[in-house]
Amino acid sequence: MTVFAEAHTGAVQRRLLADGDHGPLPTPDAAQLVGMARDAGLTGRGGSGFPLWRKLNAVIASGRPPVIIANGAEGEPASGKDKALLAYQPHLVLDGLQLVARAARASTAHLYVPRPSALRAVLAARRDPIPVTLVAAPDAFVSGEESAVASAVAGRGAVPADKLTRLPDTGTLVQNVETLAHLAMIARYGAGWFRAAGTYDEPGTFLATVSGAVAAPGVLEAGYGVTLGSLIAAAGGPAGALSAVLVGGYHGAWVPADPELPISRAALAPFGASPGAGVVMALPSGACGLTENARIAGCLAGQSAGQCGPCVNGLPRLAATLADLAAFRSRPGLPAEVDRLTRLVTGRGACRHPDGTARLIASAMRAFSADVAAHLSGRCLATSGRFLTTEARA
C-alpha cells in the first residue's frame, strides 16, 4: 500500500480501489474507533454526509440492543459505486462492518445488498468474530433509505417509516458500504493518512460514478475538492460539448459544466448541490436539459413508496407539469406552478424522497432557465434553437 503525500486538494487517485490486500485488521476499542473516525473527519458516503462518529456514539449511548447494518442497496439509478466496491474490495466493507459491530457490542451484523448470493462465498471465506447475515435489498429507489433498510432487516417490507426519534437513538446504525470501507482504511493507516486526501474541511476520498456524455463512463475515486474537469478527464474526457452536469444523484442538483468547479460541499452549496453519493452525469449540448429533467422526475415520481399523501400526489403532479414543459405544452404560470409544487412536497413525507426530488427539480429550473424561456415560446435551445412546427408542438 502506497502512502500518498499529496497536497490538500482533491485529485483522482486510488485508495479504496487500489489493488491488493490490506493485511490484518486492528482491533480498536469503541472509544478509539470513535476517536479515529472523528479525527479523520469521516462522513457518510450514502448521500447525507453525516459524521460517522456521531451516529456510532449515539448507538453506543442508546443502551438499546444494537442493530448494525451495512447499506449496499444503491437504489440510485445513476450510481454504480457501491456495486463496484463490493465486487472489487468486499473485504474492506466487511472489515468496517466488524469494526462498528464490535464497538457497539453487537452479536450479529447485517449486510444489505441487492444480490446477496454474490457475497456468500466471500463471507464464508472469512473468519469474522461477529457473524454477518445477508439481507436482500429490493430493487427500488427508496429501499436504501435508512428506515426502509432497518425495516427490511427486521423482516418487514423495505419501506420508510415515520421518524419520531432518530434511528441511532434506537440502537440502529445504518452506514453506507463505502463509509465502512473508509473506516477499515482509517483503522489501518490512521486519521492523518486519511486526511492527506481531500480538503481540510472535507477530508478523504470518495467514489464517483461518472456517466452520460463521457468517453469512458465508470467508477472512479478522488479526493473531495477534485475539479469536475479532472473527474471527467479521468472518465475518458467529454464526448463532445457539455451543457450541464448532474451532481450527487437523482436527489442531487444540476450545475454548470465548468471544468474548474470543485466537487465539495463548500463549492457546490451555491448551486444547492452537494457531492451526495458521488454521482456525476454529464449532459451533452445536443440534449435538452428539460427533457432529461422530466424523465428523471417521472422516474422519481414512480419510485414513491406510496405511503404519504403529499409525495404520492405531489410527485406525479410535478412530473406531469415538467413533461408538459419539456413537450412545449406551455400554459401561463407553469414555472410558478413548478415552484409552488416543489415547496408543497418538501418536508412532507416519512422520508426525504420528496425533498430530494424537489431539490433536483428546483435546480433544473435554475440551471436551464434559458431553456425554460425558450420552451414556453415553443423553441428548444438544445435542438439548435430552431422553431418547432405546430405539429411537433401538439
Contact residues toward ligand FMN (CB under 6 A) are 44-48, 50, 71, 73-76, 141-142, 144-146, 174-176, 179, 351-353, 356
Of positions 48, 285, 307, 313, contacts ligand SF4 by CB under 6 A: 307
- Secondary structure percentages of the chain, helix, strand, coil, to 5: 45, 15, 40
Could you tell which of ligand SF4, other proteins, ligand FMN, none binds residue 221, using a CB distance below 5 to 8 A set by kind? none
Report the C-alpha gap between 124 and 262 in whole angstroms.
Answer: 41
The reply on whether position 354 binds ligand SF4 by CB under 6 A is: yes
Site for ligand SF4 in 87-146 (CB under 6 A): 142
Q: Based on CB atoms, which residue is closest to ligand SF4, 276 or 354? A: 354
Could you tell which of ligand FMN, other proteins, ligand SF4, none binds residue 304, using a CB distance below 5 to 8 A set by kind? ligand SF4
Residue 272's nearest CA partner among 295, 256, 290, 283 is 256
Q: How many CB atoms lie within 10 A of CB 180?
A: 28
The reply on whether position 359 binds ligand SF4 by CB under 6 A is: no
Q: Using CB under 6 A, which of the segments 47-55, 99-107, 166-174, 343-351 binds ligand SF4?
A: 343-351
Could you tell which of ligand SF4, ligand FMN, other proteins, none binds residue 338, using a CB distance below 5 to 8 A set by kind? none
Report the C-alpha gap between 120 and 115 in whole angstroms.
Answer: 10
Of positions 304, 321, 346, 363, contacts ligand SF4 by CB under 6 A: 304
Could you tell which of ligand FMN, ligand SF4, other proteins, none binds residue 30, using a CB distance below 5 to 8 A set by kind? none
CA distances from 192 to 38, 39, 204, 258, 367 (A): 11, 8, 10, 31, 38
Q: Using CB under 6 A, which of the segments 66-74, 97-105, 240-248, 303-311 binds ligand SF4?
A: 303-311
Residue 296, φ and ψ in degrees, nearest 5: -65, -40
Residue 218, φ and ψ in degrees, nearest 5: 165, -170
Could you tell which of other proteins, ligand FMN, ligand SF4, none binds residue 313, using a CB distance below 5 to 8 A set by kind? other proteins
Report the C-alpha gap between 66 and 269 in whole angstroms.
Answer: 35
Residue 300's nearest CA partner among 364, 373, 257 is 364
The reply on whether position 381 binds ligand SF4 by CB under 6 A is: no
Contacts of residue 117, defined as CB under 8 A and 6 or more positions apart, other chains included, come to: none
Could you tell which of other proteins, ligand FMN, ligand SF4, none binds residue 344, using a CB distance below 5 to 8 A set by kind? other proteins
Q: Using CB under 6 A, which of the segments 63-71, 290-298, 351-359, 364-372 binds ligand SF4?
A: 351-359
Could you tell which of other proteins, ligand FMN, ligand SF4, none binds residue 175, using a CB distance below 5 to 8 A set by kind? ligand FMN
CA distances from 91 to 85, 96, 106, 184, 191 (A): 10, 8, 19, 9, 20
For helices 81-88 and 177-189, give the axis angle rounded to 10 degrees.
50
Q: Based on CB atoms, which residue is closest to other proteins, 138 or 310? A: 310
Chain Cα centroid distance, residue 251: 8
